[in-house]
């Protein structure tokens, strides 16, 4: 099928820098940023460090997937046997995510779901869908849950004219607690939770994770440039994990010349 058969008015087709993968986006609504890229790499490397990257049947669920950028990157970094779900509340973004999976020939591995993390029935629906994908194989929960949720609490940010951008940036359809509660309900025991968020929400994140049995295990701050204060952070937690939080070396996105740092460049090479 020709590329233009997948693209609607106002959309564009971008190469994302991972193999031949491409992404349909609509700039008027929302385009992904570096936070999604480093979150996907953070989760994939977490598996490698545990020696689990090549285990058959890895299952992943990305909450608030948007157009499916994190599932796409993970499809490049994880084994072909990995089954990856993406949950999105906005219908237009959900439909775009489905087309992105089809465009890249990944519909058998990437499963997009129209759902709201604030809906208590979502957990059961995803469990049932995963059991169907596993075709009768035993399913105890997802190995990994990732999320790049809205960063701003509802009512605290500046209201925008574009509803799609407001939903993506502010907790209007799902709160931070909704995302963490849903992650906890979906994970298998000792399963891994990966989140990218703002450092200003660190206390909230740690408190909510413990409330829902996700023990924070690893924290990494990310700054725009070396020497600058971090503006985002990566958090890794384990459902039912022991109490021990490790700090990783900070990560800078750009060097003094405005180019990607060596580590960011390596993320695209892995």
Beta pairing partners, 71: none
Which pLDDT score, from 0 to 100, does residue 128 have?
Answer: 85
As a CATH number, domain 3-191+221-228+247-269 is 3.40.50.150
Which pLDDT score, from 0 to 100, does residue 233 have?
Answer: 98
- pLDDT per position as a tens digit, 179-211: 999 999 999 999 999 999 999 999 999 999 999
- pLDDT per position as a tens digit, 44-79: 999 888 876 556 689 999 999 999 999 999 999 999
Which pLDDT score, from 0 to 100, does residue 47 have?
Answer: 86
pTM: 0.91
Which pLDDT score, from 0 to 100, does residue 170 have?
Answer: 46
Residue 129: burial class (beta carbons within 10 Å; 0-12, 13-18, 19+): middle
Which pLDDT score, from 0 to 100, does residue 172 have?
Answer: 61
* Alpha-carbon gap, residue 118 to 167, rounded angstroms: 13
Which pLDDT score, from 0 to 100, does residue 126 have?
Answer: 87
Which pLDDT score, from 0 to 100, does residue 1 have?
Answer: 59
Contacts 24+ apart (CB under 8 A), 197-206: 197/149, 197/151, 197/232, 197/233, 197/235, 198/151, 198/231, 198/232, 198/233, 199/230, 199/231, 199/232, 199/233, 201/151, 201/176, 202/233, 204/176, 205/176, 205/180, 205/235
Q: What is the pLDDT along the chain (270 residues), one digit of tens a residue?
A: 567 778 989 999 999 999 999 999 999 998 999 999 999 999 999 988 887 655 668 999 999 999 999 999 999 999 999 999 999 999 999 999 999 999 999 999 999 999 999 988 888 888 888 888 877 677 889 999 999 999 987 655 555 566 655 544 545 668 999 999 999 999 999 999 999 999 999 999 999 999 999 999 999 999 999 889 999 999 999 999 999 999 999 999 999 999 999 999 999 988
């Amino acid at each position: 099928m020709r590329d233009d058969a997948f693209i609607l008015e106002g959309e564009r087709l971008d190469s994302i820098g991972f193999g031949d993968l491409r992404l349909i986006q609509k700039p008027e609504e929302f385009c992904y940023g570096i936070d999604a890229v480093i979150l996907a790499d953070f989760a994939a490397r977490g598996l490698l460090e545990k020696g689990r990257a090549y285990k058959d049947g890895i299952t992943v669920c990305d909450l608030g997937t948007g157009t499916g950028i994190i599932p796409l990157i993970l499809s490049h970094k994880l084994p072909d046997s990995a089954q990856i779900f993406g949950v999105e509340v906005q219908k237009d973004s959900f439909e775009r995510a489905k087309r992105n999976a089809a465009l890249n020939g990944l519909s058998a591995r990437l499963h997009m779901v129209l759902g709201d993390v604030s809906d208590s029935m979502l957990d059961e629906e995803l469990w049932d869908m995963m059991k169907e994908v596993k075709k009768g194989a035993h399913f105890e929960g997802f190995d990994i849950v990732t999320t790049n949720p809205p960063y701003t609490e509802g009512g605290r940010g500046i209201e925008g004219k574009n509803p799609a951008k407001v939903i993506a940036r502010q907790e209007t359809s799902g709160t931070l607690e909704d995302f963490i509660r849903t992650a906890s309900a979906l994970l298998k025991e000792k399963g891994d939770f990966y989140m990218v968020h703002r450092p200003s929400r660190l206390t909230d994140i740690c408190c909510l994770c413990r409330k829902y049995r996700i023990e924070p295990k690893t924290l990494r701050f990310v700054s725009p440039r070396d020497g600058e204060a971090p503006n985002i952070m990566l958090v890794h937690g384990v459902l039912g994990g022991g109490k021990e939080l490790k700090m990783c070396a900070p990560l800078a996105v750009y060097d003094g010349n405005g180019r990607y740092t060596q580590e960011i460049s390596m993320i695209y090479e892995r």
